[in-house]
Amino acid sequence: MGELPIHPGVVHLPIGIVFVLPFLLSLYIIFFKKKLLERSGFVIILVLYGLLTISSVISIKTGENEISAVKNVVAQQHVNTHENEAQNFLVVTLLALVTGISTLVVNSLRYFQIGLIFNFFIQILLIYFAIQVGHTGGVLVYKYSATDAYLPRISNE
């Protein structure tokens, strides 16, 4: 107790990636249509999907490591709500990664373009789920004072 948790520092990476991805994909689509980028340029989006997935898994793992301290301060049901939202976010993150890989490997230009649009809509879904998981995390901190689990304990001796 008394040590600072790692989880709050880690969770901001996937959230940041989620909010940057739609802009980068939009730029990629514009440059691709103007023939300024090749299909292979989509690999940049895939790398970000991979980083998003890895950082999401790390965020969940660090959150699991913090549960033992936080459950002494916050009711388990509130922690479970946040954990469920994080799991939902990870599922959509994996969907984005699989869809991105599928988009890149199709042979048809038409299916590639359809895949780009589908990827964009998945990114909008990711924003929704990022907001949900961020909100439930914020509720733990600001409404239920989860950070109290890390306050130094004062002895009555």
Per residue in 86-98, pLDDT (tens digit) is 999 999 999 999 9
Contact 149, 72 (CB under 8 A): yes
CA distance 14 to 109: 30
Greater confidence (68 vs 100) lies with: 100
Query: Would you kindly state where each structural domain of the chain is located, as residue ranges?
Result: 10-147
pLDDT at 3: 76
Residue 56 neighbours by CB under 8 Å, 6+ apart:
14, 86, 89, 90, 93
Q: What is the mean pLDDT of residues 108-136?
A: 97
Residue 31's contacts (CB-CB under 8 Å, 6 or more residues apart) are 37, 41
